Every structure is written in structure tokens, then in C-alpha cells.
Structure 1
């Protein structure tokens, strides 16, 4: 009889165990390993999902929104989509030196209230491959329309006052972002889609979250340059040349103005534009994805105030990711055309009006059209027709709380108003009615943003034959086609609609000192 090693299973025993239907020890160990791997994998996935949920929950808890009802009802029209259904966006960026919380320790002063020392209108072009940030000096003289006070009352309009005074209306530590938005809309004639306010603490934490930002100083800078009331030179804050800063040092850099150039706020604006360029470059180098953006978002949102349309972590990250295709060279910064008027700043006409007109026409600062014209869109091969929208079974749609923009994609008249009546009867909120950029659409289309397909399907049930189309931009738009006109009695226009006039070329007063985000950080740092 052949012997066997101690601890091994005789072959006959193994065969008998299998014959009786019991698993062998080897098979048990294999199944045990499989179970361990399966449970470990499930645990990791569960923890990852839970961690992601916790992060989003924490970010949502950080975000503060201002009162949307404080935005004026007398507003410019929303931008119309181009021939591909893409819409430009205008975002108002406000730097607040609120004295509340820990901001006074970072340079906010000791008195109460809040001011806006930085105001930038960021225009994101319809192609989402170009953007221009326009700095409006804090001492610019503008007209401020009625603004809502904390008491609920509205102020009287003001004329020829500094734009940073709009943020101080109501005299609260939080400031009044809606009033600044109202003032910028009145000044530019452009509808502001989103407003974002960052205070000192948020700014300092953001720079720390990404490991610092590269800057350049044209000369040595001392404590006395930052605070002229110090009465002495003080210690060295920044040596001449390139360096990386974060936290308090980054804040000091964007606030300093004395001892550099002509010591004006205009010169400081140039350095702020250089800093913004370097900040964008640093963020993009780390990757425009949720993993890279979440630490920055966590730092920023703790001191961020936004409009209700950006009031969640998902909306903020979605907005940030929508900018990922903008090349650094196509991200421009410039200062609105200006001149001194005594100690204040006057905006130069007609130069400033030409600037706003160019943005309204979605033209870049070098005069290029960033949208897609109807003619060029017609020359492109047509995409296969989208499948008809599925009609969810059940009761008639209830549009309570759902906002829809309505656009007439044909040459027939009166369609947008008729479709708006249909939507309102189903309790939808119609945000705008207008004419689409392309007016030769055959079929009616419902375009929807991330997570809004179910709502879009409900809208489509009111317009038989409508198709659905996903978009990277939030919101629902209804674009009416000839099929809707055929059954709704639209009147055909007897004349060809006039093409919008091409705006005048941008003045060199606005473009000569424009900065690209990829420019040398040591160039164009001051005025004078």
C-alpha cells in the first residue's frame, strides 16, 4: 500500500467525500477566499459611496445662498441659444472684505458691514471654449437700481455712486450680493446667470487647498507697503521675483497697492488678474475632475455665498466642470475702459458700451464669433433625428416648481406665446419666451440638463412628437419646430428677419492690456 504525507488528504478519502456530496477542504478554502474577496469589494464600494455622500453632504452644509427674491424683476433678457442650442453665461464674481467672523484677523478691519473690493464679470462664451473676465474698479461711478433691504423694503435708485457701495446696501456683515448683481445688470444690459461671493477667509483657504499659487513681484515689498499707516518700513513680505504664496500671503498679495506702480486700485486690479490667471493654471494642472476639485470646493464653500441656482455641491461642481475645455490662452482678463474723475473712476463711453455689445453678441475680444451661425450650422451634415420622447404613463404632468425657457425655432409668429400658455396651464414656470438662433427647425425639441430627463419627458407630453436632447448645461428649454406651427396656426412671416448687426470692433482701451491665463506671471503687473 502506497503511503502518503502527513496532513495530505488520501485520494480515496477525497473521492469518497465528493461522492457523498460534501465539499473537500480544498474547495472550502477556495470558497472562503471568494467570499472574503466579495465582501471586501462590497465593503470598499460601500465605504466609497458613503464617503462620497458624506463629502457632498458636508459641502452642501457649507454653502450659503442669498435671497433670490432680492434680484430685480426688471432685468435684461436671457441670452438666446446659438444654432447648436448652446447658450453663453455671465457669472458675477465678488470679492468681499466682510468684517464678520474671522475676516477682521485677515485684514478686514474692525468696523462692521461689508464692502466689495473686487468685482469681475466673467463671460463664458456659447462654445464653452472661450471666456473673458472683466474687472470693474471698485470706485467706478454707476447708477444703482432699487435694492431689497433686510427688512423687506426696497431702496430708491441712486445715481453716480461707487459700485462697491451696492454691496454695502443694508449694512450687514454678509453684504448684499443681489444689489451688486442688480447694479451690474443695469450697467451692462447683460443678464447675470450666477453670482459668487468669496470673502477673505475663503480666499485664503482656497489657495492653501491647492498648495499655493505662483506670483511675481516687480520689487521688494514690505509691511509698510501693505499698511501705509504703519509708520515704518517693517519686515520684508515679498522679495522681488517669482515665488509661491498661499493663505495670508496670497491675500496680502491681492490686497497690496501702495509702493507698486502708481499705488492705485487700477494697478492692484492688474495684479489680481495675474493672480486669477495663476490660480486657474494651478487648478487645471491638477485636473478638472471631481477628485481634484473636491478639496478646493471644501475650502471654498466654507466662506462662499452664491445665488440659489448654484446652491448645492452638485451644481457647483457641474458648473466648474463645464469650464474644463477652456484653454488657458482663451481665458482672458481685462479692465473696463476707464478714466479718473477726481478721486473716482468714470467709465469711458462709447468704449464701454461697445464692450457690452460685443459680449452680448458673444464675440471674443479679438472680434471672433464664439457661437455657431445659422449658415454654418446648415452647412454641416445633419445629425440623425433623435428618437421621440417617451411618454410616461400616468396622470397629466404637474409642472409645479419646474422652469422652462421657450424658443420659436421657425419663421412663424406667435408660437412661443402659445406654447407658454400651454405650459402655464400645467403649472410650469416659463422663464423666458423668445426666438431661437436657428429658425428652420423641423421638429420640436426639449433640451434638458444633467438629472432633468424625467422633467423633460413630462414637458414633452404636452407637445406630441417632441424629441429629447441631453445637454451639459442645467435647465430645460423648449424649441418649437415646424411640426408645432403646422397644427397651431402660426402665421408665416412675410419678410426675412434681419440679421443682428455686428457690433463695432472692441476699443483698444479695453483690449490693449488684456491678459491671457497663460501669460508670463511677471508681465503687466501694474499701471503707471
Structure 2
């Protein structure tokens, strides 16, 4: 087999998957497959929900269909992970979650990152006793992994949660822990990454700039939040996406020699927990060979359209609904069909319902005190925002003192005024909501992400209607406005291609 044909057999996917796919070109003997089989851990398929989204239908019998793979990074400190991650042993959370949608043409893929703090409904999940829980609303996404406190977590519950959220049927779920990341990066002699600034926080030290990391530093880079940008999980996901792209590129350029690839495959399988349908080395190889045509440049990473909701994250509608619909219909992010499947009809899918449009103000909400603060210093900015708020129906709107230097708009509210803040949020979709105990008003502090509205003929993000605006975080809730390329704004602003400059767009805030 020529070197070029071997290169075509490598699939460019994500960390937990990257090493698994190496098996497709390893050419190892049966003894090695047996060894890998003994490494692999599977989770109980009995925990997967009995009511699930339908599978996509091929256009013609035998045609390929899309494949959805849920990749989870566990932060458990159990089973030898405490030395790498710090903290006490015990069941961890799925602090990294990527839904990898492989299109039916098996030439393109989209990896959707779901923020760990996203507020979702966790559906009924199976406990160790065999009993099933009641659905719970308004829960952090990563807590689904801890339901039942299974020693290795509850991947089935997280899978159930993602299926309920998206309306997509998950074909495979793969979990990788700290040990797996460390071992796999060491097996390929490090991964090239970019650190946007020096970090010395929470026992994690990283130097600024391009560098190669493996083992403990790789774990540190992937799990660190503090010391980057605004210390949020959103920035951490940006770095994780860049890391996965770099790891895929590294594996592609290895030359595929057995002395390099076999340790990588061994390291991967020793750290993975997978669904029963990927529970043997031969099944993994089969799956890998079905994906051999995907190129690095044909993988896109997307973070679900989002906004801050206090210290949690809320999904932004209808942008996120558009994303799930495109994937259910196996359409590219600009709405194009691959022509391979009929997709999953939206009417038969059962994702979490979109957030309703804001209702009319109650008399109490209309009379609530609202203070608008110019956090930038641009003359007249607060006045224009106040006009927008009054047009919504708020009657008690005043201007506060200028407080310059703000990057992001913030809506702070007292506990009794939460509903008022939620009515204001659609007017400032890029804003974070912060509850302030003791506060008797709602204060909107404008950041650099806010621009004048209708009075200047611009939309709430400061661009002509329909234009693309490089605003971090959430997109306007009024609609998923297409960019010139056809990709909805809320999706485009949260995307990066796998072959993007590794130093680009690594932090948020």
C-alpha cells in the first residue's frame, strides 16, 4: 500500500476518536486485536432510553446514512486520574461534550460542543438499582453524567439527554478520561498548541505562544478555565476544539509506522468507555474504515448558540433549533443537502421545545425600575438603549452614571425582578444575566458588544440587517439571520474550521 493511500485511510475526528481510527490502518495481528479487546470498557445498553428519535432513512436501499457520535471527556478523579486532575476521587462530570455529526456522504463532519453549564432537561435515566429517575428541568448539562453515581459515570444518561435536546439519534457514545488524554498525546510525541497568554492559576502553569505538549501539560491545557479570557467554560471549549484539530493533524503527518500507531491504539483503548456496538477492536475498525474519506478541511467545530444566564448558560433560540434541524435533515450549515438521505423529518423528532417569544409586559413588569449604564463611554449610547427599552413598554427607565471599560453587556437584577430581566434579555441577546441579591432594580450596563438600534438603521448588534457581525456568544433571538455564505449568524459566530490557525480565537471575554 502506498504512503498516499495510507494517508487517505486516516479519519480526522476528535480526541477520543482519533486514536481509535488509527486501527483501520494498523494492520495488527489477531493477538493485538485480542489485547485491545481486553482494554475496552463498555457501558450498559439497558440505560439507553426506550423512546428515542427515529433513525434517518437512506434515499435508496443500501445507501449510506449519517452517523452521530457523542464524545465525552470525563473529569473523574477515580481509577488513577486524581494525580493528573487533582482533587478527590469519585464520579466525575462530562465537562467536555462534542456531538460529532458525520454526514451521509462520509466526506464531511460537524462537531458540536455543548457547554457543560447549559441548562437542560435531564430525561428519565436508569439508576444502579434498576429504577428510572423522573425527568428534571433546569439542570446543568454535565450533571447527567453523575446520575446514579456509577463508578465510571453514566454515559447512557448523557446520551439520553442529548437525544432529547437535539432530536438526533446517537449511534455511538465514547468517553475518554484524563489518563487517556495524557497517554495518547505521549504516544504521538506531543501535540502542537497555542497558549494565548501566560497562565499561572489553580496549580496550572502554561507559557504563552506556540508549543508542543504531552501528558500532564496536555491535560492542564484542556481542563484549565482560569487564567484565560473571562475564565469561562466557553473559552475552554475554543481551546479544546483547537487542540482536537491539532491532534488530528499530528496523526495525519506521522507517516503511519506501526511502532508509532500501535502504542497510540493501545493508549486509546485503555482509556475509553464505549457503547456496546463499539465494544470490540474489530467493531472499531469497521467503524473507522467507513469514515476514511473525511479530510481535516471538511470538519467544522460549532459551539451551540448560547448566552449567559447568571452563572449558567442558556441556549439561544431559534438559532440552536436551526442547528439541530440542519443536522436532523443531514444538511450542511448553509442549508445544503448532501443528497444521501431523506433525513429525520422535523415532525418526528422530539427535541426540547424552543424558548417561547417574550410575552407582553404585565403592569408590574412595565413599572419596574430599569437603570441603563453606559459602560463604554460613547456619547449617547445609554440614551439610545433607553429608547429601545421604552419602546418595549417599560415605563420607569433612567440613565445611570457612565462606567467605562466594559467589554460585554450585563443585565443585573434583584431576585424579585428576574422576570423583568428575562423580558429585557431579547433586546440585548449578547448580554449576560447576573442575579444580585439585595438589588431593587434591573441595571443594564452596556458593553462594547452593544451598538445603537433602529434610530441609526442598524440592528441590535450594530450591523445592517442581515449582515454578519463578529460578536462573541449568542446571536440575536429575533431570528437566525443568514450570513452571505448562507450560514445562520448564530451558528457562524460560534464556529471554527478544523484547519484554522491554531492561535486564532482561543479565548472568550
TM category, shorter: 0.5 to 0.7
Q: What is the match of residue 216 of structure 1?
A: 194
Unaligned runs of 5+ in 2: 1-25, 343-480
The Cα shift of 1:285 comes to: 2.1
The answer to whether the Cα contact below 8 Å between 2:330 and 2:341 also exists between their aligned partners in 1 is no
Q: What is the match of residue 52 of structure 1?
A: 29
Aligned counterparts, 1:375-454, within 5 A? none
Q: Please say if 1:510 is aligned against 2:491.
A: yes
The Cα shift of 1:320 comes to: 2.5
Are residues 510 and 326 of structure 1, via their aligned partners in 2, closer, same or farther at CA, if it must alter by over 3 Å?
same
Q: What is the match of residue 89 of structure 1?
A: 67
From 111, 123, 140, the counterpart of 1:133:
111
CA distance in 2, matches of 1:109, 1:82: 51
* Greater RCO (Cα-Cα under 8 Å, separation 6 or more): 2
The answer to whether the Cα contact below 8 Å between 1:221 and 1:239 also exists between their aligned partners in 2 is yes
Which stretch of the first structure deviates more once superposed, 249-258 or 174-183? Answer: 249-258
Q: Please say if 1:521 is aligned against 2:498.
A: no
CA distance in 1, matches of 2:497, 2:256: 19
The answer to whether the Cα contact below 8 Å between 2:127 and 2:133 also exists between their aligned partners in 1 is yes
CA distance in 2, matches of 1:121, 1:63: 21
Larger Rg, first or second structure (1 or 2): 1
Q: Please say if 1:122 is aligned against 2:100.
A: yes
Q: What is the match of residue 173 of structure 1?
A: 151
Aligned residues: 343
The Cα shift of 1:308 comes to: 0.3
CA distance in 1, matches of 2:90, 2:202: 24
CA distance in 2, matches of 1:371, 1:252: 42
Q: What is the match of residue 455 of structure 1?
A: none
Q: What is the match of residue 113 of structure 1?
A: 91
The answer to whether the Cα contact below 8 Å between 1:97 and 1:199 also exists between their aligned partners in 2 is yes
Q: Please say if 1:149 is aligned against 2:117.
A: no
Unaligned runs of 5+ in 1: 1-48, 228-236, 375-502
1:333-376 deviation per Cα after TM superposition (whole angstroms, max 9, x unaligned): 010010111110001111111100000111112333223479xx
SS in 1 for 2:31: helix
From 14, 35, 38, the counterpart of 1:61:
38
The answer to whether the Cα contact below 8 Å between 2:47 and 2:125 also exists between their aligned partners in 1 is yes
The answer to whether the Cα contact below 8 Å between 1:65 and 1:306 also exists between their aligned partners in 2 is yes
Q: What is the match of residue 250 of structure 1?
A: 218
Q: What is the match of residue 7 of structure 1?
A: none
The Cα shift of 1:516 comes to: 1.4
Q: Please say if 1:277 is aligned against 2:245.
A: yes
Normalised by the length of structure 1, the TM-score is 0.62
Normalised by the length of structure 2, the TM-score is 0.64
The Cα shift of 1:217 comes to: 1.1
The Cα shift of 1:108 comes to: 4.7
1:445-481 deviation per Cα after TM superposition (whole angstroms, max 9, x unaligned): xxxxxxxxxxxxxxxxxxxxxxxxxxxxxxxxxxxxx
CA distance in 2, matches of 1:213, 1:191: 32
The Cα shift of 1:61 comes to: 0.1
CA distance in 2, matches of 1:99, 1:123: 29
